[in-house]
Amino acid sequence: MATWRLDPATTHLNHGSFGATPSEVLDHQSALRAEMEHNPVDFMMRQYQPLLEASRSAVASFVGADADGLVFVPNATYGVNSVLRSLEPQLPPGADILITNHTYNACRNAAAETARRIGGQLVVADIPFPIDDPQVVVEGVYAAVTPATKVVVLDHVTSATALILPVREIIAALDPQLLVVVDGAHAPGMIDVDIRALGAAFYTANCHKWMCAPKGAAFLWVADEFRDTIGAVAVSHGYNDGWPSSASRFHAQFDWTGTDDPTARLSVPTALAVLGTHLPGGWPAIQASNHALVHQGRELL
């Protein structure tokens, strides 16, 4: 069973904001960091890419994505910004961006800034809370689409209200020409995620929340038809294929955005393995247990 370094004098109820990482995973990260500092050039130039590819494959398998379309980012906010900034020159002037009144504030700000830059409007779909039927969400988003709408930003699990939005059903109801960006910050590890089944063009999420990886590990998945036009917010060597160890230019633009400590993203496979043995039933048992605890907490309140 995983052990933690949380302060025993504090009752930790807010795991969602910043997550927590088991001691075994932190020990693995420390060992990676020690290896990196022992010979930084060898680690970055020779060891880094194979370790990154192993981590990429592990995450892709966990969330139902193809590794070719998955890259690592520092956090989901960075992922949303990378998509929106990349889309700006591709969107027609005056295009609208649609969000909901449950959208995470950082992503709301990113969408508002992109709308401002292209001379469009930020349109907000009003979704009531609480809701009795997921179809209310589908209809609320669909009703807010305007002729100028080109991009829709959806939370998979809302931050402040903890709603699991029916993302797949929303996307199925929308015009296929609309570009849907899913902010899945809270989803992987909390619920079962199958990205390819959702039908979204873009999906980004954190690994430090319910996957319990170290902070600084997150991912962005991009559908095949958009990989040639999506790049990282930080333009670096991969922009002109200057990071040849990556499998593609799309990967290269995110695999190396400048020197940083890569050990968080390299530790994700260990986090998945450690949490996978935390309960006898593995990840499905963890998700069921967490769901039951939420219901117990609700009854107490």
Give the DSSP letter string of 174-225: S-TTSEEEEE-TT-BTTB---HHHHT-SEEEEESSSTT-PPTT-EEEEE-GG
pLDDT digits (tens, 9 = 90+) for 101-142: 999 999 999 999 999 999 999 999 999 999 989 999 999 999
For 228-250, what is the mean pLDDT?
A: 90
Q: How many domains does the chain have?
A: 1
CB contact at 8 A, 164 and 157: yes
Which domain covers residue 83, as residue numbers? 20-270
Q: Is the pLDDT of residue 245 over 90?
A: no
Rounded CA separation 88/83 (Å): 9
Place of tokens 């959806």: 154
On whether residue 208 sits in a domain, the answer given is yes
CB contact at 8 A, 18 and 208: yes
Q: Is the pLDDT of residue 300 over 90?
A: no
pLDDT at site 2? 65
Average pLDDT, the chain: 96
Q: In what order do the strands lie in the sheet with 202-206?
A: 70-73, 218-222, 202-206, 179-183, 149-155, 96-100, 122-125
CATH code of the domain containing 114: 3.40.640.10
On whether residue 8 sits in a domain, the answer given is no
Rounded CA separation 264/262 (Å): 6
Q: Is the pLDDT of residue 243 over 90?
A: no
Residue 24 in tokens: 């075994």
**What does DSSP say about strands 70-73 and 202-206: parallel, antiparallel, or unpaired?**
unpaired
Could you list the beta-strand ranges (E) of the chain. Answer: 70-73, 96-100, 122-125, 149-155, 179-183, 202-206, 218-222
On whether residue 131 sits in a domain, the answer given is yes
Place of tokens 């593609």: 248
Length reported for the chain: 301
Residue 33 in tokens: 């960091």
Phi, psi torsion values for 183, nearest 5 degrees: -90, 100
Percent of the chain at pLDDT > 90 equals 88
For 214-230, what is the mean pLDDT?
A: 98
On whether residue 140 sits in a domain, the answer given is yes
On whether residue 77 sits in a domain, the answer given is yes
On whether residue 52 sits in a domain, the answer given is yes
Rounded CA separation 52/238 (Å): 15
pLDDT digits (tens, 9 = 90+) for 36-82: 999 999 999 999 999 999 999 999 999 999 999 999 999 999 999 99
pTM of this structure:
0.96
Residue 46 carries which DSSP code? I
On whether residue 286 sits in a domain, the answer given is no
Rounded CA separation 195/67 (Å): 12
On whether residue 7 sits in a domain, the answer given is no
pLDDT at site 58? 99
1 pLDDT band, cuts 50/70/90, is low
pLDDT at site 64? 98
Rounded CA separation 106/74 (Å): 14
Q: Is the pLDDT of residue 190 over 80?
A: yes
Give the Cβ contact number of residue 80 at 10 Å.
Answer: 28
